[in-house]
Amino acid sequence: MKLNKYQNMLLGIAIGDAFGASYEMQPWPKISKQLHLSSYHGLNNRKQGTYTDDTQMSIAVAELLISDKEFTKENLAEKFVECYKRDPHQGYAKGFQNFLESVSSGEEFLEKINSNSIRNGAAMRSVPLGVLSNLEDIIKYAKINASITHNTPKGITSSVCVATVSHYVFHKLGEYKDIFDFCIDSCQGLDNESISFFERLKNRGCLEPLLLFGENHADFGVPCDGMRTAGAVLYLVSKSKGNLEKSLTKSILLGGDTDSTASIVCGIIAINEGLNSLPSFLFDKLENDKYGRDYLISLGQQLSAK
């Protein structure tokens, strides 16, 4: 099947998420021993090929971009509630899942949400924003996206960073290895600590766990933290040379929040490289209920038509 860039992106997000979810928060020796690109079965008992919050919320963002509605906090919150309620998925943080269960509209969501998180929930759903052609719009939308749930300098910066990595790749603004400068420029003025972290990562030739994961997580992997996740994405995309299979494997080997890292990275690399380099089970066994594989393909088609 010939897929366009939008479809590749959405399927990349879901495949990275569904595969990465089986290795989430597991000790490194276990991951490296059991990481086989041969089935969706990993180290936990997830149903094969099911995606998590990363994909579901990215679908919500994509659906709002396709709709004729304005990209506002209200409309996006409404989409988050709608997408969860019509097809509840596992993988959300427990507290946030309980919150989604408890609200019935976007208005109620915004009224009751505690939006001061610095975790990676805004970053993980920002990849679809990269398709927009105007960088100012992307930064504006990425800020709106973060402000609903992660209205902190770090939460906002992580959302802008991921959206601009996606934009850079989608519109082929340069080579993968040169991704850092574009994103650092796009994040100027948002959060000094994040920017100096991205700068330090850029200047390192090889992986330094202590730097990438932070002192408290050096033995653990990518924490569920917006700044660290954005840094891991910059690092992996900059080193990827467009190799999707290797990028998926490396995303998992970093450990920690593997589904978010793999979802973002695979969504971005798949845009131009497609999915053909991946073992076919990743596509064939991806969930395909009402909002699964075929739905993502149709959503990508609609996004490209828009």
Which residue ranges make up the site for Mg ion (CB under 5 A)? 52-54, 91, 259
Closer residue to Mg ion, CB minimum distance, 16 or 153: 16
Closer residue to Mg ion, CB minimum distance, 58 or 247: 58
Contact status, residue 52 vs residue 46, Cβ threshold 8 Å: no
Report in angstroms how near the CB of residue 127 gets to Mg ion at its nearest: 13
Residue 85 tokens read as 């309620």
Report in angstroms how near the CB of residue 177 gets to Mg ion at its nearest: 28
Report in angstroms how near the CB of residue 46 gets to Mg ion at its nearest: 11
From residue 115, how far is each of 36, 110, 119, 120, 249 by CA, in Å? 38, 9, 11, 13, 33
In the complex, residue closest to Mg ion by CB = 52
Closer residue to Mg ion, CB minimum distance, 132 or 146: 146
Report in angstroms how near the CB of residue 260 gets to Mg ion at its nearest: 5
Facing residues of 256 across strands? 222
Closer residue to Mg ion, CB minimum distance, 13 or 187: 13
| Residue 47 buriedness (CB in 10 A; 0-12 / 13-18 / 19+) | exposed
From residue 216, how far is each of 36, 202, 228, 229 by CA, in Å? 28, 21, 12, 15
Closer residue to Mg ion, CB minimum distance, 194 or 261: 261
Closer residue to Mg ion, CB minimum distance, 20 or 130: 20
Report in angstroms how near the CB of residue 259 gets to Mg ion at its nearest: 4
**CA 167 – CA 132 distance, rounded (Å):** 7
Output phi, psi for 172, to 5 deg. 45, 60
Report in angstroms how near the CB of residue 172 gets to Mg ion at its nearest: 28
Residue 199 tokens read as 């700068």
**CA 286 – CA 48 distance, rounded (Å):** 8
